[in-house]
A = this chain, B = another copy of it.
Amino acid sequence: MTSSIFEVLAEPNRRRILDLLREREHSVGELVKETQLSQPGVSKHLRILREAGLVEVRQKAQKRVYHLHAEPLVEIDKWLEPYRRFWSDKLDALEKLLNEENEEEIRPLPQQRPLKKKGDFE
């Protein structure tokens, strides 16, 4: 039901909506215009974003105005943290070296032939 923040961000339209809300708040109707989606489609995504705590709503006359609440993105940032030290190529090389200290023989990886599929014959 309520999905992980990673799953929420996996959907491109949702990232698009967040990007739009980063600039300024938008009503549902405005978001419909900015996306390729139907109105219910947008509302569905907004619900998921709301349940993830990434957006908040205000009512303004008949409209519902959504704005960004970026705080849950901190979780992504935290997950990323221990990976940061691997990013530089130089550090990569160092890692590699440390890993390979305990290794024996290393052979080049041969290209694997595709398996025989259903329709294949020879």
Chain A interface residues toward B at CB < 8 A = 4, 6-7, 9-10, 12, 15, 18, 22, 24-25, 57-61, 67-71, 73-74, 76-77, 79-80, 82-84, 86-87, 89, 92, 95-96, 99, 103-110
Contact = CB atoms under 8 A, between A and B. Distances in A.
Contacts of A68: 83, 86, 95
Tell me the number of copies of this protein: 2
A96 B57 CA distance: 12
A104 B59 CA distance: 11
Contacts of A67: 96, 99
A63 B85 CA distance: 27
A24 B18 CA distance: 35
Contact of A60 (B9, B18, B105): B105
Given A4-B12, A6-B9, A59-B107, 16 more contacts: A6-B6, A7-B10, A15-B79, A18-B83, A22-B83, A58-B109, A59-B106, A60-B103, A60-B106, A60-B107, A68-B86, A69-B92, A70-B87, A71-B89, A71-B92, A76-B80
A28 B77 CA distance: 28
Given A12-B4, A25-B99, A109-B57, A80 B77 contact: yes
